[in-house]
Structure 1
Amino acid sequence: MKILIATHKPYQIPEISGYQPIMVGSALRDEVPAGYLRDDQGENISSLNPFFNELTALYWAKYNLRDEDIVGLAHYRRYFGTKSSHNLADILSQEQIYDALEKVDVLLPKQRNYYIESQENHYLNAHKNEPYFMMQDVIKESFPEYLSAFQQMGQSKKAHLFNMAIMKQADFQSYTDFMFGVLNQVAQRIPYESYEGQDRRVFGFLSERLMDTWLYTNHKTFQDFPLVTTEKTNWLDKGTQFLKRKFFKNTNKKVHF
């Protein structure tokens, strides 16, 4: 088992069997802390980290962790937990992960519910619109069996976000085949290198809409887990920004906290 902890800076990392920090964008950094994996060794897209974010860790894992039975991704600020908390002691243990995967195919963070808008509208209110519609075109043309689930995801008010998941190797390969297959084609059709600000992180945002698309198309069973977060969220600011994006389209957009 290898649960990668994606980070872009030195950080307090829990010492739990099966978990391993990985410095994303290692190819762009002067040094990587001792004990951290690098995402620029073997087959990789490390240099594309400004556009792919934590997905460079998933790409590295796809080609360099093929001997692991179970592969997963957490963030330096977010982990799968037994309960919602800020206490690292509540992070799922290796034994709890094994037990859960005996019952379901995929472990996921608790769904985010936006209540007053669909996932498609939420994305379009927060990000450049062209990449989303281009992704829809790519799925329609090259992955038509996924189109129905993609549209279902778009109309839903709930989604599994953060690109976090834990699953067995065969499912991990299936998911990443689909996800990178879609994103690679989108990358050929949009001028992402000219994007500025948060829009440069386009593929990390797009991919969040592909997990449920893959999940429901392939009829995978799953279990949601609460998040253990190392930093507290300012929910007043987060809620205010959400409403500004929805009702005041021309305001500066802030989507990550």
Structure 2
Amino acid sequence: MEKPDIFIGVCYHKNSPTISSQYLRPLHVGATLSKEKLDFAIRDDVGDSISNRNPNWCELTGLYWIWKNVDADYYGLMHYRRLLNFKPRESHRTQSFFEVTDREIAKFGWNDASIRNACSSADILTAHSCVIHPSGASHVSMSNYEFYKREHFSKDMDIVERLVSEMSPNMRPFFINMLNSRTAFFGNITVMKRSLFREYCEWLFKILFEAEKKIDVSCYDEYQKRVWGFLAERLTMTFVDYAMAVHGATRRELPVVLRQLPPCSTNELLQIAQAKKRIAQVAQPKDDGPDDFIDIVMAVDSKYAPHAAAAIHSALVRSERPQDMRFHLLDGRALRESDSIKLEATVSQFGAELHVVDVDDKKLRWLPLNRSHISLQTYFRLLTPELLPNIAKAIYLDADIIVCADLRKLWDIPLNGNPIAGAPDEGGRSQSRRLQLPLSHRYFNAGVCVLDLHALRQFDITEEVLRAFRKYGDLITLQDQDLLNIIFSGQTTSLPLAWNANTRIFTGNSLEPDYSEEEAQESALDPKIVHFTDRIKPWNTKCPHPLQELYWLHRNETAWRETKLKTVKRQLLTLIRNRVVAKNRRLRKARTN
């Protein structure tokens, strides 16, 4: 058996930036079922183990292995993507990292000296407690039981409550307090001194092994089958409260550090720089080809008219037959006539059509707006089937995009009988959990959508919206995007991510996307549509987006072109910033090596 002073297992299930020291020990969880070989990690299938339970028991197979196979003064468990900060400042604010270098190790105290100091300060270390609320809806406070009932199956928690009452009645008061509490810490991330840890594991696995006999997970989806990890989180909170009250144990809360989905590497940024020239090239016009129009819908006011012009220009120059494109601008009487004339000039030079569609927004004014950079126009796309009654199909585009490929290729993607198609959102998994959408639904970003308007007219959209608000209420935080995902859950065609390449692909993502790192990297290197999501916009001076110049390439071909002096100043600032970013990357890489 291992005999260190402190043993904190860091759970891995795939290759990832490694965090390791004498006290921090990488642990390959689910090793017995894994096809990957993690040479840097201890396998959890040697000695006494439950490694084969990992698909449903998650990090608990690592916890069990530590309990049965390690002899130490302090024991702990963390994850390669969720770790304690052993060198916290006063704030408990969650922080993030992309890679593991000397800088991150020093900053977050992932070294033996910091860990030893933290362990000496308390009997139990846990992640910091937070107010319980659905993901993305911090204004909706819930108890532990209410939250579990909403996110999982309350019958499982009821079974565990009965088992706690029968098998360890001394724990029952603390379990009930946990169920009623409106704060929690998650992830089964703890460090405990020896006597407490061994009592904790003895009790935890006794309850869970008995619950396993009574809970049938055969009909659960892959997410809900991780029930034992979810239940263990609540039992862990119960034990910590018990240990403090009965044993007089001291507890210290530490901030959690999250690994973000990494941004493009320096190498990839160089490839993107080379790709800029390729995707900036205009298409060669053709006279032959399909005779059908491509109808493109945008919601535009005078504030966003310059950005819409850049987006429209990019779509036209990438098209082999721009004369087949018809742009429909949904205007809630906020587009000046002078701006309409400028937009018409951008379109007409390519032989395309532009139509301004008047929208009476009175019927939408009751809908909520909870983000400062979002206006009522975001809901206009819900009215598209009604506003364009003679059109069968359309592509909806936000104005903060740049088209990098012929939209005919997007137009020709089959919808397979679904009324709408969209690419996965940069925070899709957490958004789906907030709205309790099925695992089979890939929450999509509504900034780029293909709409079967004929199929959409079969829905009473107004009634569907009212039903959604009646059911979800203030859990709807992303306006019409949430509504579209709710209404068309299970009836959506998922587009390749490259057709809606969001900003966080290029700058790093601390959210939970419903796409892989591989998908993100492929989309960054060959985007079909670049979407400047969130508040990072290319017309802002301090925009860090590596493809910012694509926006100006097209805007400067419209009536909203900037002066030469402004161009030189902006390009100089961009050059300086990019060089600083590249230098910092090289320094971090050098420190790592």
TM-score (norm. length: structure 2): 0.40
Secondary structure of the corresponding residue to residue 209 of structure 1: helix
> Structure 2 residue aligned with 1:95, among 113, 116, 121?
113
Q: How far off is 1:73 after superposition? A: 0.8
Partner of 2:145: 120
| CA gap 1:170/1:209 in 2 versus in 1, 3 angstroms | same
> Structure 1 residue aligned with 2:178, among 148, 153, 158?
153
Deviations 1:110-162 (CA, angstroms, capped at 9, x unpaired): 11312510011111100122211110010011111111111101111111210
Deviations 1:21-77 (CA, angstroms, capped at 9, x unpaired): 111111101342112110100000000011100000000001101x22221111010
Kindly indicate whether residue 387 of structure 2 is the aligned counterpart of residue 196 of structure 1. Answer: no
Partner of 1:68: 72
Kindly indicate whether residue 257 of structure 2 is the aligned counterpart of residue 228 of structure 1. Answer: yes
Kindly indicate whether residue 26 of structure 2 is the aligned counterpart of residue 9 of structure 1. Answer: no
Partner of 2:240: 215
CA contact (8 A) 1:46 1:56 kept: yes
Kindly indicate whether residue 53 of structure 2 is the aligned counterpart of residue 51 of structure 1. Answer: no
How far apart are the structure 2 equivalents of 1:117 and 1:225?
23
Q: Which amino acid aligns with 1:63?
A: K
Deviations 1:68-99 (CA, angstroms, capped at 9, x unpaired): 22211110101111344224333333222222
How far apart are the structure 2 equivalents of 1:168 and 1:174?
10
CA contact (8 A) 2:19 2:26 kept: no
| CA gap 1:40/1:236 in 2 versus in 1, 3 angstroms | closer
How far apart are the structure 1 equivalents of 2:37 and 2:231?
28
| CA gap 1:195/1:240 in 2 versus in 1, 3 angstroms | closer
Structure 1, unaligned runs of 5 or more: none
| CA gap 1:243/1:201 in 2 versus in 1, 3 angstroms | closer
Q: Percent identity?
A: 26
Structure 2, unaligned runs of 5 or more: 1-5, 89-93, 98-103, 134-140, 262-424, 438-470, 476-485, 490-510, 513-593
Secondary structure of the corresponding residue to residue 208 of structure 1: helix
Secondary structure of the corresponding residue to residue 197 of structure 1: coil
How far apart are the structure 2 equivalents of 1:2 and 1:102?
14
How far apart are the structure 2 equivalents of 1:137 and 1:165?
25
> Structure 2 residue aligned with 1:244, among 419, 426, 435?
435
RMSD: 2.5
Q: How far off is 1:2 after superposition? A: 1.5
How far apart are the structure 1 equivalents of 2:198 and 2:172?
20
Kindly indicate whether residue 109 of structure 2 is the aligned counterpart of residue 105 of structure 1. Answer: no
| CA gap 1:46/1:6 in 2 versus in 1, 3 angstroms | same
Q: Which amino acid aligns with 2:78?
A: A
How far apart are the structure 2 equivalents of 1:144 and 1:128?
23
Partner of 2:24: 19
Q: Which amino acid aligns with 1:142?
A: M
Q: How far off is 1:163 after superposition? A: 0.4
Q: How far off is 1:194 after superposition? A: 4.4
Runs of 4+ in structure 1 deviating by more than 4 angstroms, as ranges, are: 234-243, 245-249
CA contact (8 A) 1:79 1:91 kept: no
Q: How far off is 1:100 after superposition? A: 2.6
Q: How far off is 1:108 after superposition? A: 0.6
CA contact (8 A) 1:160 1:211 kept: no
How far apart are the structure 1 equivalents of 2:186 and 2:130?
7
Q: How far off is 1:20 after superposition? A: 1.2
Partner of 1:86: 96
Greater relative contact order: 1 or 2 (C-alpha under 8 angstroms, separation 6 or more)? 1
Secondary structure of the corresponding residue to residue 20 of structure 1: strand
CA contact (8 A) 1:110 1:160 kept: yes
Partner of 1:166: 191
User: Greater CA radius of gyration, 1 or 2?
Assistant: 2
Q: How far off is 1:242 after superposition? A: 5.8
| CA gap 1:5/1:190 in 2 versus in 1, 3 angstroms | same
CA contact (8 A) 1:112 1:161 kept: no
Partner of 1:184: 209
| CA gap 1:26/1:239 in 2 versus in 1, 3 angstroms | closer
How far apart are the structure 2 equivalents of 1:238 and 1:221?
36
Q: Which amino acid aligns with 2:220?
A: Y
Secondary structure of the corresponding residue to residue 27 of structure 2: strand
Q: How far off is 1:235 after superposition? A: 10
CA contact (8 A) 2:44 2:65 kept: yes
How far apart are the structure 1 equivalents of 2:238 and 2:430?
26
Secondary structure of the corresponding residue to residue 210 of structure 2: helix
Q: How far off is 1:243 after superposition? A: 4.7
Deviations 1:209-229 (CA, angstroms, capped at 9, x unpaired): 011211112223211111121
**Size of the alignment, in residue pairs?**
252
How far apart are the structure 1 equivalents of 2:430 and 2:225?
23
Q: How far off is 1:109 after superposition? A: 0.7
